[in-house]
Structure 1
Amino acid sequence: MRANYDELITGLGRWSSGRGPLYLLLATRLRAMIDDGEIPPDTLLPPDRLLARGLAVGRGTVVAAYDLLQQEGKVVRRQGSGTRVCTAERTAALGPAAPVVNPLLLHLLDPPDGVILLTCTAPDEPPPALIEAYREAAARLARVRHDIGYHPAGHPVLREALASYYRARDVPTSADQILVTNGGQQALTLLAALLVAPGDTILTETPTYPGALESFRDAAALFRTAGDPDAFGAALADRPALAYLVPTGHNPTGAVMSPLTRRRLAALAVKHDVPLVDDEVPAELCFSGEPPPPLAHYASGQQLITVGSLSKLVWGGLRVGWIRAAPPLVSRLARLRALHDLGGEVLSQFAAARLLSQVGELRRDRVTLLRRRHDHLLAELGARLPTWSAEPAQGGQTVWARLPDGDADAFAQVALRHRVAVPPGRSFDPSGGHGDRLRLPFLFDEKTITESVTRLAAAWHDYDGARRPRALRGLIV
């Protein structure tokens, strides 16, 4: 169904009468019309140039508004097919006011029963070292005096432990360069809130970590993507508001960036004065042993920002993360953090400080386990889904699998009916690409991995068979 141009212009009304960038005002009005049913699902919206001419604005305003609505899951934009309001099924699934559109986060908010969730990547049980660290932390807490417990930048004990951790990795660091957060996700959200204004451009790899994309979308950012380090480095010359990388144990590919590439990108970020966020949350899971130093090792400058946490190495329920950055930025972030929660819970910070002294042992045990499960996953995929392809990971917790044909979003729906939830590739790409990819974690025990692949193989059989011409189905053996 094609939108009636005149009715749409009339329905938009005084859309530009508010305060803020025009593209945000236009997106807000279109969103309201979609949510209220004034623009029905599956409606084809006017082309960018046509709507821009009717509204007497630049084409870029309409493009930015449409792109923002696509990031929110309100519309779908396809080259050659135009901009179309999402189908009724997807609109109903998200809800009219759903702030989270990424299926990975939706499964955290509302996990389905009886389904193996391959959508989240974190250890599924706390290790004994964490229990012992909390025992020691409780004893330490009992000795605390003259401390009200509010530390917006983080407790001094943990800030100094983190500074020591980076110094041991050949990155000179002082405690005033550390901000403690409630996990790596809050670190990204705080950075986006402080450094990104609505309509600013953020440079990311593609694919990349979807939790970061959600934080940047919440800041009303626009995206520019780069498919390889050369393209990423070239894009830094255009000075985006923020650049974001996962160079070690990359989520979702499991790749590890070379030292030469790290040095080059760090130097370019400093040269072009672009804040570059180095997401090291999965860095300690490098299969080769100790992880390479963060980007801040390769160049000095306030532009280089490091984010980390213990959620992947230890346990997701340990909500302790951090930002390493220049002291002025840490000070600004602490003031912003104080508005949210006045600082993190102290007992967990004491436990995290204890765990940081055991990083080498924790890494060895965790990586040994993950490598065994990684190899088991690849063996199961080769045996049960031989037409799929997946490059071995160099670290992290996931492999990036390619379907031989078909669409990963459609297959994910079939897989869900076989009681396994798998994240499709478009969740990792703000431009909507990688429609033939799936992210597969190797976190579970071997029995669960085998059962997961068995269910995926059954789903693939149903999906593949459903797409073949009826006359050929009987010929497939």
Structure 2
Amino acid sequence: MDPIEVTERLGRWSSGRGPLYVLLAGRLRQLIDDGELAAGAVLPPDRVFAKQLAVGRNTVIAAYELLESEGRIVRRRGSGTRVAGGVVEPTSDTTSAPMFLNLLEPQADVISLACAAPEAPPKEVTQAYAEMVPVLAGMTAEIGYHPAGYPPLRAAIAERYTRLGAPTGAERILVTNGGQQALSLLARALVRPGDRVLVETPTYPGALEAFHEEAAVLTTLPIGFAGFEATLRTHRPVLAYATPTFQNPTGAVLSGLQRRRIAEVAAAHDVPLIADEITADLGFPGVEVPPPLAADADEVISIGSLSKNIWGGLRVGWIRASEPVIARLTRLRAVHDLGGNLPAQLAATTLIPCIDTTAPRRATRLRTGHDLLRAKLTAALPEWEVPPVEGGQTLWVRLPYGDGTSFAQTAVRHGIAILAGSGLDPSGGSDHHIRLHFRHPDTVLEAAVERLAAAWRAYHPPARRVVTPPPLAV
């Protein structure tokens, strides 16, 4: 696109508060989100654009880098800068999200409250593997490749959905290597660069990363999806993603009315609705857990996993969807992974019923960790807002001043890793929040609070914090 034409479309962009590159990125973002700069459109080279705008070249470079990090534009050596979409490839094949970096680059002597999962495998896991060995030893004519998953495991998962109120056949289940692979497969199958994806905010950072890898443009709604139908009409997303039960990170649970309404609206507009129900089995003692969202709308795409209710190291997850969607996902999965770990799936087949039988023990432990962490935080940091939850595994904490990103940097220097709210909220509305999980043993949680308190005493917010303008959201 001609630099002069782009400049004319920019209009007044330099008025306002903040660095010039932030203001320029904000205006370009609006033009992209409104469709005035179409998917695949070529943007001016930074040197030419800077001259046309009468600004320094570094201003344009910084603005482009900001938009590239959001997945709105793609920069390729030899082919210039383009608006994401059309024939443009995804922006990146790696991640810089803090949640993943805490796993990829673990630090000694740092307590991590960033990645929540069971602290150790329960006895049921070792028992399941012991029971699996004779079955494995007795197998004949079995090469071990099952792209859709080990058939008895698919049947066990389907039976559980049926028992919970969502009648399901095994042909509607795809077994994956954990819930994250399930998200990645769905994003790869349903999203193209520049497509809109509707998410609640804040939300699970792993989902944001999966959508970002496909160069999606994220549109946000508050938890509960208020304004859902109007947003579908206005922005026409290719899919919507929600965590209806014990939402990550807030612990919120959608009411029965909200669940039915969201499902009905998505179906009416022919927008696939992904219900991430990996945390749905994490209710506290005595808390009534709603049935799967698929019980209200059969066409909902459900994601489940054993990572939070049994053990993360097992790496067994699944997708429940219509037969055509499962067939498509299976073909896609086969290209990248001919089949999951068969011994793990053999063990998982006997572990599916354990989700319910271990629930009382799991619920008690979650409640204990929740109550302990809240009590210790209230005593040591009374100025923090720490709302209680009735299930899940995380607390959504609001800081009285400063921002979560800069405090997380201070915290890690004091031996405690946390997630800043900005990484869970593409709307930009959670900068003052942090996410903490309560799945560690009591002694570790107590030590974690001591380190958080020390970090807070040493924390000095930056004198001038640059706030990235949020993506267009409704």
CA-CA distance at 1:21 after TM superposition: 4.2
Please state whether the residue corresponding to 1:317 is helix, strand or coil: helix
Q: Give the % identical residues.
A: 47
CA-CA distance at 1:171 after TM superposition: 0.4
CA-CA distance at 1:185 after TM superposition: 0.3
Contact 1:118 1:420 (8 Å CA) reproduced: yes
Q: C-alpha offsets along residues 405-427 of structure 1, whole Å, 9 cap, x if unaligned?
A: 11111111111111111110001
Matches within 5 A, 1:310-389: 310-389=306-385
Look up the match of 2:123.
128
Question: Structure 2: how far apart are the matches of 1:380 and 1:346?
Answer: 43
Q: Does 1:217 pair with 2:212?
A: yes
Contact 1:68 1:222 (8 Å CA) reproduced: no
Q: Does 1:207 pair with 2:195?
A: no
Change (3 A) 1:276 1:146: same
Look up the match of 1:89.
none
Q: C-alpha offsets along residues 340-399 of structure 1, whole Å, 9 cap, x if unaligned?
A: 111101111111110112221222211110101100011001100000011111211001
Q: Does 1:242 pair with 2:239?
A: yes
Contact 2:92 2:213 (8 Å CA) reproduced: no
CA-CA distance at 1:231 after TM superposition: 2.9
Amino acid at match of 1:248: T
Please state whether the residue corresponding to 2:436 is helix, strand or coil: strand
Question: Structure 1: how far apart are the matches of 2:195 and 2:356?
Answer: 40
Contact 1:154 1:343 (8 Å CA) reproduced: yes
Question: Structure 2: how far apart are the matches of 1:313 and 1:414?
Answer: 32
Amino acid at match of 2:435: R
Amino acid at match of 1:170: G
Change (3 A) 1:68 1:294: farther
Question: Structure 2: how far apart are the matches of 1:434 and 1:281?
Answer: 23
CA-CA distance at 1:237 after TM superposition: 3.4
CA-CA distance at 1:259 after TM superposition: 1.1
Question: Structure 1: how far apart are the matches of 2:193 and 2:289?
Answer: 35
2:113 to 103, 111, 118: 118
Unaligned runs of 5+ in 1: 4-19, 31-40, 49-61, 76-95, 468-477
Look up the match of 2:180.
185
Once the two structures are overlaid, the 10-residue window that deviates more, 168-177 or 355-364, is 355-364
CA-CA distance at 1:69 after TM superposition: 2.6
Question: Structure 2: how far apart are the matches of 1:444 and 1:409?
Answer: 23
Look up the match of 1:397.
393
Change (3 A) 1:387 1:265: same
Look up the match of 2:4.
none
Matches within 5 A, 1:250-265: 250-265=247-262
Look up the match of 2:137.
142
Contact 2:196 2:237 (8 Å CA) reproduced: yes
2:40 to 22, 33, 41: 22
Q: Does 1:195 pair with 2:213?
A: no
Amino acid at match of 2:454: A
Q: Does 1:457 pair with 2:453?
A: yes
Amino acid at match of 1:272: H
TM-score if structure 2 supplies the norm length?
A: 0.80
Q: How many residues align?
A: 403
Contact 2:117 2:439 (8 Å CA) reproduced: yes
Amino acid at match of 2:113: L
Q: C-alpha offsets along residues 104-149 of structure 1, whole Å, 9 cap, x if unaligned?
A: 1111111112111111011121111111011111221112222211
Please state whether the residue corresponding to 2:358 is helix, strand or coil: helix
Question: Structure 2: how far apart are the matches of 1:143 and 1:260?
Answer: 50
Larger relative contact order, structure 1 or 2 (CA cutoff 8 Å, min sep 6): 2
Amino acid at match of 1:156: P
CA-CA distance at 1:232 after TM superposition: 3.5
Q: C-alpha offsets along residues 46-87 of structure 1, whole Å, 9 cap, x if unaligned?
A: 899xxxxxxxxxxxxx8xx95443359999xxxxxxxxxxxx
Please state whether the residue corresponding to 1:22 is helix, strand or coil: coil
Change (3 A) 1:2 1:383: closer
Look up the match of 1:17.
none
Question: Structure 1: how far apart are the matches of 2:255 and 2:455?
Answer: 37
Contact 1:307 1:321 (8 Å CA) reproduced: yes
Unaligned runs of 5+ in 2: 1-18, 22-37, 47-55, 76-90, 464-474
Contact 1:397 1:441 (8 Å CA) reproduced: yes
Matches within 5 A, 1:398-417: 398-417=394-413
Amino acid at match of 1:295: L
Question: Structure 2: how far apart are the matches of 1:206 and 1:465?
Answer: 24
Once the two structures are overlaid, the 10-residue window that deviates more, 355-364 or 182-191, is 355-364
Matches within 5 A, 1:68-87: 68-70=68-70
Change (3 A) 1:403 1:66: closer
Q: Does 1:280 pair with 2:298?
A: no
CA-CA distance at 1:98 after TM superposition: 7.6
TM-score if structure 1 supplies the norm length?
A: 0.79
Question: Structure 1: how far apart are the matches of 2:364 and 2:209?
Answer: 32
Contact 1:205 1:232 (8 Å CA) reproduced: no
Considering fraction of residues, name the structure with more helix. 1
Please state whether the residue corresponding to 2:382 is helix, strand or coil: coil
Please state whether the residue corresponding to 1:237 is helix, strand or coil: helix
Please state whether the residue corresponding to 1:124 is helix, strand or coil: coil
Question: Structure 2: how far apart are the matches of 1:133 and 1:46?
Answer: 55
Once the two structures are overlaid, the 10-residue window that deviates more, 137-146 or 443-452, is 137-146
Please state whether the residue corresponding to 1:45 is helix, strand or coil: helix
Amino acid at match of 1:259: G
Change (3 A) 1:436 1:142: same
1:151 to 135, 138, 146: 146
Question: Structure 2: how far apart are the matches of 1:266 and 1:226?
Answer: 15
Contact 1:73 1:101 (8 Å CA) reproduced: no
